[in-house]
Chain A
Amino acid sequence: MKRGPALMTAATGLAGALALTGCSTSATSAGGGGGGGLTFMTFETPALTATFWDTSIAEAQKEVPDTKIKKIVSPDADRTAYAKQLQASGQFPDILSSVNPKDFSAAGLLKPFDQKWLDDNFTDPDGNAIDGKSYIPPTNSQVIPMIFYNKKIFAENGIEPPTTWDEFVDVVTTLKKAGVTPVEMAGGEPWSAAIPLSGIITADVLGADPEWIQKRYKNEVKFTDPGMTAAVGKYRQLIDAGAFDKGALSVSYADANKQFLDGESAMYPMGSWFIGQIPAAAAKDYGTFLLPSATGKPIVPFNTGGTTAVSAKSSNVADATKFAQAWSLSKANLKTLIETDGAFPMLKNVPFEEFGAKVTPVYTDGFKLVTEDNTKVSAFGQVNNDDALPPGLVEQFNSLAQKLFTSSDVKDELASFDAGWDKAAK
């Protein structure tokens, strides 16, 4: 009889443990995706901080007061990959911020926005349209990339912003000789590593033929074609000329921002969102220019931005859409995005002054590129519309940019990129 209790203890221990796990399931499933809660996947950058997301969520929350919004933060800036990972493990969020919609729309995972709502509220309602449907509200526009430059360093070396490719290479050589890192590159993160290459391809290939991506989808052109090979060759030319720091591939986006703002490098090809990272007090020291194209014609690498995509599989698509719309139209949110993320707003019914945003001359210069009449083409690998790359190809392109940093075999790398495209687009 003495031994009985001991055994009982073991048995209760086991049962208790099972009960414990059982408990937590029932407790958590009630609070999760089921009932009145929606999940919103965000990502954090130096500009879009946790506070920004919390405030903006609280702001849009007012439109759907009965729905609880739960924030899920992507572990890195590559939120598209994280969203896919969540999808694969059965946790696709109800609302997603700034993902690449083409990766999900083919599987019917995203809910397009109502056309009338788009027409009523945005200056370019079809800016993000894929096959005529918009999965991301076209709230703002971006230039990806513009070349930021340090005016002091340019003055010290007697350089002017270049207007042709040869002048650009000369600038690089001069700076290199002067012991300044000519071009900053955030090569440590795949997305930011791809920005310079993306810029050259947009200026030269899409600048010469804005239909190039569509033609690639129809197999009328290839990455191994001479035009593309030449453009990518220019990237290698820059690397060989010592334009970038040798260790650029270990520099994170945040580190690159800091190095450029600390005057350790002279130029920085980056999306217009970098405007928000330049402190207002220092803004007079920085200028921007467009990467010179092969034809010499100024090409604006354009992207329609926007944040909130809505899952078609959401337990409450109506509320998720309402939240997404409220988030996208919120003046307060856009004001923050204008100030910290350099966003150029495209709301139809809100004049710029109404946001009450404080902007710098660098911002105003950038905004002109968007509003003025000029040649705008889709920024290669950066857009959310029909010119977006096939699913998964953005990641491969980013990795290609890193690979080409050390490999000079342009033709070979582009051939395998062609193969990757064919596999993904079939």
Chain B
Amino acid sequence: MPSRSLRTGRSLGLAPVAWIAVILYGMFLLYPLVQSLFLSFTDKNPLQAGSAFVGLANYRELLSDDRLLSSLLFTMIVVVAVTVVANTVGLLLAIVLNRSSANYRVMRTLIFIPQVLSGVIVGFIWRSILTQNGLLNSALAQVGLIDEPVAWLGDSQLAVLSVCTVVSWITIAFATVVYTASLQSVPQELYEAARMDGAGVLGRFRHVTLPMIAPGTTISVVLCLITTLKLYDVVAVLTGGGPAESTQSTAFYLISVAFTDNRFGYASSIAMFLLALTAVVSYGVTTLLRRRETNL
């Protein structure tokens, strides 16, 4: 067949470019991953001379590292809280804003802005709001709701709540837009049909909306999980991981072990752990939600 030889000839046109991309990806993603894995079996520390192979010592240390454990606990709290809150509120907002007039278009545009700002800016804005002499405390005091300032960022538990709120705020913006897009792809005929069958508001939501937006739900939930698992810059600016490391996310702890304690080897084992965690959570949740999509 002449066309076959012709086709391979043509394919050459894209192959070099594709290979450049693959090589770059190999250099800046795959190789660093392997390198990280390799480092995790050493005690490399740039502030001490030499490094040695230490076998599984770093991984054994992981198991008994209280600071890692508490960072993990905090990360999990944020991941679960943010995923639930952002998707619930995001879906509700999407439903409220899913109308076609110009007003609603403007509102949908505004809602997304938190997602446009960098984590550093968001962290700062909220820090100025939540800090001891901050805008929230002075507003609450003016209204007479509080007598003395509330330590939104200074109390271990409140600080966790504050971080959850701020991260949710950013993520709601994203979820709302995804859900709006999903809602708009639901054919109106389905609602008509459901109405004919006598379904009420809740019935239509349960039997038409939810199943039809299921793919959007999957995207929103999974992206929410992945971005929250690598939570870093908001925490760095908002609380600096404090007070007393109570808002130290695992990604934040990893950076401080690597670049402040300079324990590259141990940091790499934390990195491997974080990667495994992200992989398990995102694969697990994707599979679960995909199955749900078909069952709905």
Contact = CB atoms under 8 A, between A and B. Distances in A.
Interface string A74-111: 00100001001101110000000000000110111100
A87 B261 contact: no
B132 A251 contact: yes
B47 A84 contact: yes
Contacts of A405: 243-244
A250 B154 contact: yes
Interface in A380-411: 391-392, 395, 399, 402-403, 405-407
Nearest to A400: B244
A392 B260 contact: yes
B82 interface: no
A130 interface: no
A108 B46 CA distance: 11
A88 B262 contact: yes
A84 B264 CA distance: 12
Interface string B40-82: 0000001111000000000000000010000000000000000
Nearest to B134: A250
Nearest to A88: B259
A426 to B, nearest CB: 10
A133 to B, nearest CB: 17
Nearest to B152: A250
Contacts of A103: 47
A392 B263 CA distance: 10
Contact of B154 (A88, A247, A395, A416): A247
B244 A109 contact: no
A249 B151 CA distance: 8
A187 B243 contact: yes
B47 A391 contact: yes
Given A103-B47, A255-B133, A391-B47, A250 B151 contact: yes
A84 B66 CA distance: 23
Nearest to B154: A250
Contacts of A137: none
Interface in A180-195: 187-190, 193
Contacts of A246: 148, 151, 154-155
A359 interface: no
Given A84-B260, A405-B243, A248 B46 contact: no
A106 B47 contact: yes
Nearest to A14: B17
Interface residues of B, number: 30
Contact of A402 (B66, B149, B244): B244
B91 interface: no
Contacts of B159: 250
B215 interface: no
A222 B262 CA distance: 25
B47 A416 contact: no
B245 interface: yes
Interface string B7-51: 000000000000000000000000000000000000000111100
Contacts of B133: 255
A15 B269 CA distance: 39
Nearest to A80: B260
B242 interface: yes
A106 B159 CA distance: 37
B259 A89 contact: yes
A399 B244 contact: yes
A190 B242 CA distance: 8
A406 B258 CA distance: 27
Given A84-B259, A255-B132, A395-B260, A249 B47 contact: no
A405 B159 CA distance: 14
B156 interface: yes
Contacts of B271: none
Given A88-B46, A103-B47, A190-B242, A251 B260 contact: no
A250 B260 contact: no
A112 B211 CA distance: 70
Contacts of B153: 188, 249-250
A264 to B, nearest CB: 10
Contacts of B47: 84, 87, 103-104, 106-107, 109, 391
A190 B154 CA distance: 12
A273 B159 CA distance: 30
Contacts of A406: 155-156, 243-244
Contacts of B244: 249, 399, 402-403, 405-407
Nearest to B48: A107
B260 A402 contact: no
Contact of A247 (B66, B149, B256, B259): B149
B259 A248 contact: no
A162 B18 CA distance: 76
Given A84-B47, A255-B133, A405-B244, A249 B260 contact: no
A187 B259 contact: no
B262 A87 contact: yes
Contacts of B264: 88
Interface string B150-189: 1111111001000000000000000000000000000000
A85 B154 contact: no
A84 B151 CA distance: 31
16 contacts: A88-B46, A106-B48, A188-B131, A188-B153, A190-B242, A246-B155, A247-B132, A247-B154, A249-B151, A249-B155, A251-B132, A255-B133, A395-B261, A399-B242, A403-B245, A406-B156
Given A109-B47, A405-B243, 10 more contacts: A81-B259, A84-B47, A88-B46, A88-B258, A106-B47, A106-B48, A107-B49, A250-B131, A251-B132, A392-B260
